Structures are given as C-alpha cells and as structure tokens.
Amino acid sequence: MRSLCTLILGSMAAVVVGVAGGKDPAFTIKGVGLGTPLTQVRQVLGPPLSQLDERTEDSMGMGEGKVIKYEGLILKLCKPEGKTSFHVWSIVVTDKRWAVAPGLRVGMERQAVIGMLGQPENSSWEAGSTRESLSYSFRSFDGYYSVALEKGHVVEISASEDWS
C-alpha cells in the first residue's frame, strides 16, 4: 500500500478549490483538511473542546489515533507507523459556523451542493428516514467525501482518507 500520508502531505498545495476541470475540492476548513498536521490544526482552530486518544484493533498502518472535537466539528487524526507526527484523516462537520472549501455549509440546499460538487457517484437514503447521502471519491488519492441531507438541506459534511 502506498504511503497515503506522504501522498496527501506532498500534494495538498496542488489541490485546487472546486471540482471544475476534474480537480478535487480542497475540502478544508480555514485551511485545515485531510493531511493537515496536528500542530497546524491547533494553530488555526485553537484549543478543542476535547481530545481523546483512539486505538483501533486493525489500524491498517494508521498507528496511533486521536479524536479532536470542536463545536460542530470532529477531526480524527492518525500517526502512521514510522511517522513522528499526527495528521487529519477524517473530518465531520455538523454546524453551519464551519465553511468547507469550496463553500459548503450545513443548511445549504441539495441543488446548491450539486451545483458546486457535480452529480454524486452515489446517492442513498437511510432506511426509514428522510436522510439522504451524496457520495463522492477524491481523484488524486484514496479517499471519499459525502454530504448528508435531511429534507433537502445539508446536515453533515464529511471527508476521509481510505485506509481499507
């Protein structure tokens, strides 16, 4: 398996905001996104409401983990085997205060999301609910992002590296 951490850290500067021309969206919050080191997360977003160490039984090379929570924002970080620092591998946004580049926000309408990100690769409905999920894959690395909607409005925006 290629070193996803190296790929992401090495290519974050080349990621272009928006999906025009087949580019991946930046999917960052104030410049914090997948691959961002823990030190930069704290510099940009400040102290979190909570931080927990996280262990997984099958880490697939992810190494140690941390979960950092801000109001309406959860960041999961990992320190891959052989690396000396943690980086963000998962982002979940549930509050409209956080703008996600290229301009996504909780509360947006479905059509605005599709206008910004294009048609999803998959659209699915949670059984017995009004929750719809629009799913996309990153082109430049193994990862995915999704937008969850309730009654046609965004309630959650998420992105993750794919460690499977």
The CATH number assigned to the domain holding 136 equals 2.60.460
Q: Identify the domain containing residue 89 by its residue range.
A: 4-161
Q: pLDDT tens digits for the chain (164 residues)?
A: 333 333 333 333 233 333 444 678 899 999 999 999 999 999 999 999 999 988 655 556 788 899 999 999 999 999 988 889 999 999 999 999 999 999 999 999 999 999 999 999 988 887 778 899 999 999 888 899 999 999 999 999 999 998 87
- Tell me how many domains the chain contains: 1
d(CA 78, CA 54): 9
Distances (CA, A) of 130 to 58, 135, 148, 152, 154: 33, 16, 10, 9, 12
Is 145:24 a contact under the CB 8 Å cutoff?
Answer: no
